[in-house]
């Protein structure tokens, strides 16, 4: 019998590395989802701010036109 790690031990080690890799992928995906949700909140807030500014500008322009 050759010296070294048995084939059963090699399988267990391979499975352990696979599980660790899968857990790391899930954790990475969770971080990316959190980051994406944060970015989405920022984008929605920014869009609303520009929409509000546009409405205010249009309202101001309309008021000026009516007064002339």
| Contact criterion met (CB below 8 Å) for 22 and 30 | no
Cα–Cα distances in Å, from 47 out to 4, 6, 40, 44?
62, 61, 10, 5
Read off the pLDDT of residues 3-62 as tens digits, 9 standing for 90 and up: 688 999 999 999 999 999 999 999 999 999 999 999 999 999 999 999 999 999 999 988
pLDDT band at 1 (very low <50, low <70, confident <90, very high): very low
| Contact criterion met (CB below 8 Å) for 13 and 5 | yes
Q: Which sign, positive or negative, has the C-alpha torsion 4, 8, 10, 16?
A: negative
pLDDT at 8: 92
């Amino acid at each position: 019998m050759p010296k070294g790690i048995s084939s059963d031990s090699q399988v267990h080690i391979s499975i352990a590395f696979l599980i660790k890799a899968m857990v790391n992928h899930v954790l990475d995906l969770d971080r990316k989802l959190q980051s994406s949700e944060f970015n989405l909140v920022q984008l929605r807030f920014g869009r609303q701010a520009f929409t509000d500014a546009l409405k205010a500008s249009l309202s101001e322009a309309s008021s000026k036109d009516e007064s002339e």
